[in-house]
Copies of this chain bind each other. A is one copy, B any other.
Amino acid sequence: MQNIIVALDAMGGDFGPQVTVPAALRSLLLFPELKVILTGDQTAITSKLSLLVGCGTYPRLSIKHSDKVISDSEKPSLALRHGSESSMAMAVDLVANDFANACISAGNTGALVAISRFKLKLLPGLEQPALISTLPTALGNKTWMLDLGANVSSSPDSIFQFALMGSILAEQHLGRLPRVALLNIGSEKIKGNHLVKHAAKMLYQNKLVNFIGYIEGNQLLYDAADVIVCDGFLGNICLKVCEGTAQLFMDKLKLTLVGSSLRTWIAKKIFSGLFAELQTLNPDQYNGASLLGLNGVVIKSHGGANVLAIVNAITEAVYEVRQKVSTHITDRLKSVLCERHY
């Protein structure tokens, strides 16, 4: 079995080593072929490690010290200029220099995108990278959605390239040509702004992507498409709207399970399965969005991720390295974009 080396920015996100260190340990127990390099403050990481598994060295876990952390409020351009010694940049560097197969950070999205673009470079012909992740659906399937916020604005050309990248990635999972749709305010052809109309025109004329047209916001979780494409500003906000609404419903439902009355006891007995099913419908449960379009695997985790969510992000990284997702997309994209089929 070939080793998979993941560089994990231990300082990123709201909780830093408090969640990244136990998540790394848990992942090492889950994947025997995994090695983790934690980048960040050595003292904080070692202290958390000691607390959890005692002092000493561990063969599959190493630390690369950095005393600089990029804050969430730091501008991407400044992070790029002054953040080369940060825990985040170090994690990306390890991939760029082939010391790791993938890197993960729960830190500042803009900074991660800027640093990754700079260090790993965009694939030839691409305009922008895109963050992609899956949404759960009513029928228990998955729908891939991109861009979830790698960029705040995009051109029709970029939207077309997102559709292409999303289609290639989903095809690897599904084993068939995925149905690709553009998110819009209506399903009729006359609807939408300049960006979606122009991108739709390119997608309709193209034979590489199975473009099924526009879908509306209320179809997001209803298996209407395998890949949903939109610009990063819209995608990021829509995903969060989805998560917020799901969270509100779960919060209200959980209230019926609080307490020690007979009513609560019966509710717990009978509806635990239902609650578990509903829980899986919250996109927030799925952590780890891939930054597609670069020469290397970069996974962005939620800022507020807990231990389990970071483990999910590491699992996604392991999957992508195992399946050579990045290489596959790179090869397909290279041939497509160089031949300029569209």
Interface residues of A (CB under 8 A from B): 72-75, 110, 138, 149, 152-153, 183-186, 188-194, 216-222, 232-234, 236-249, 251-253, 256, 263, 266-267, 270-271, 274, 277-278, 281
Contacts and interface: CB of A to CB of B under 8 A. Distances in A.
Contact of A233 (B110, B185, B236, B249): B185
B221 A248 contact: yes
Count identical subunits in the complex: 2
B239 A190 contact: no
B263 A240 contact: no
A128 to B, nearest CB: 14
Nearest to A75: B190
6 contacts: A74-B190, A184-B237, A220-B244, A221-B244, A234-B237, A252-B278
A256 B274 contact: yes
Contact of A152 (B138, B193, B232): B193
B278 A249 contact: yes
A232 B186 CA distance: 12
Contacts of A152: 185, 192-193
Contacts of A245: 220-221, 241-242, 245-246, 249
B218 A243 contact: yes
Contacts of A110: 190-191
Nearest to A269: B263
A-B pairs, 5 with minimum CB distance: A217-B240, A218-B244, A217-B241, A245-B245, A217-B237
Contacts of A274: 252-253, 256
A182 to B, nearest CB: 11
A81 to B, nearest CB: 14
Contacts of A217: 236-244
B267 A240 contact: no
A10 B220 CA distance: 31
B270 A153 contact: no
A292 to B, nearest CB: 18
A94 B246 CA distance: 43
Contacts of A240: 216-218
